[in-house]
Amino acid sequence: MSIDQQADLLLGHGRRVLVGMSGGVDSSVTAYLLKQQGWDVVGVTMKVWPQDCISRAEDKCCGPQAIADARGVAHALQVPHYVVDEAADFERIVIDYFASEYRAGRTPNPCVMCNEKLKFGNLWDKARALGAEYIATGHYAIIEHTASGALLRKGRDLRKDQSYFLFSLSQAQLSRALTPLGAMTKDQIRGIARELGLKVADKADSQEICFVPGNDYKAFLKSHLGEKEFHPGGIYNTEGKYLGPHEGIEMYTIGQRKGLPGGSPQPLYVVDIDPESSRVVVGFEADLIREEFEVDRVNWLCSLPKEGKELTVKIRYAHAGTLAWVQPLENGSALIRLNEPQRAVTPGQAAVFYDGDRVEGGGWICRKLVPVAA
């Protein structure tokens, strides 16, 4: 389907779109492009910081400066702008999830949760209240609208592609979502912002989790949970030998090398985290290699044959992707058999499945018990 045909299909449903404006260059140019295309644009910025992190969120997408920047861009573009207070739900849905995953020995992905539950979840109520039938964001991904549904594809700028973070969206969410930057590069987007004279044209991209200052998640957990809520225990090797104590399983993730006991002839890595016994199991790099793993809570965006299919699987956002056989299982899970074994397949992270540039689905990596000698 051509771009013009897609436009006709979309505009036939309604011309008002709610644009999530974070105060950055991407969402700002998103609002501009949609207005140029004839959409009735309404800008909305979510206030998501809890009160205890306002002072350290000045430079974050959840900070006061972000709201001021978004409001300034909306004024320059002559579009209405609203601020919606999502702090309570952000705390409950995203931050509490983030902390609880570490307490369960898993490594969370809060951006996926925020997209699914808030940006393309809670904002729908606001969109409907404003008479908007679509939500648009500055994600680098392509949502292709067809008469039979929506397809999610990688963005053109593969260095910035964010389709991984959108895998958990439902067909209902995708069918009412717009991502006009998907076919563009970052340089093009900054160029448009400069031509418009937008103050955010050269604003630096956020490289961190928006609510974690300095990307120090350990310090954040200590502040958010309190050290008394941690699960201290022992560090053991794969032979069951006790190597020393640790202050909490929350401080560890699969593949971690720092903060482990010394004295080994080879570097040690975290290879398993057992939340039931509060054990952190360490081993050598070879112990991190996996040939297969399971995922649960799979979200299928395209139908997959019962006998499975070979797809490209990304086991984390920065992973290049690798060919694997994806076998659907019962209870919303799937077995992933990797063509080439991969290092540090991490429980709690998302594994996203691609057929070429199209997202077929994805799920959450389950823990695989590392055998430990008695």
- List 53, 61, 111, 114, catalytic entry: 114
Tell me the three-class secondary structure of 242-267, residue by residue: EEEEECCHHHCCCCCCCCCCCCCCCC
- Give yes or no for a contact between 179 and 137, defined as CB atoms under 8 angstroms apart: yes
> Phi and psi at residue 148, in whole multiples of 5°?
-100, 0
d(CA 168, CA 150): 13
Task: Give the separation between CA 221 and CA 350, rounded to whole angstroms.
Answer: 21
In whole angstroms, what is the distance from residue 187 CA to residue 368 CA? 42
Which of 61, 62, 111, 210 does the annotation list as catalytic?
A: 210
**366 belongs to the catalytic site:** no
CA contacts within 13 A on the Cβ side of 42: 20
- CA gap 316, 362 in Å, rounded: 11
Query: Residue 322: CB partners within 8 Å, gap ≥ 6?
Result: 312, 313, 315, 338, 339, 340, 342
**Strand locations in 258-349 (E):** 269-274, 279-283, 289-300, 309-314, 322-328, 334-343
Three-state DSSP at 121 gives helix
CA 209, 150, 44, 89 torsion: positive or negative?
negative
Pairing type for strands 40-47 and 350-355 reads unpaired
Closest C-alpha to 43, from 130, 107, 147:
130
Among the listed residues 150, 133, 161, the one whose alpha carbon sits nearest the alpha carbon of residue 317: 161
Is 114 a residue of the active site? yes
Q: Which residues are catalytic?
A: 114, 210
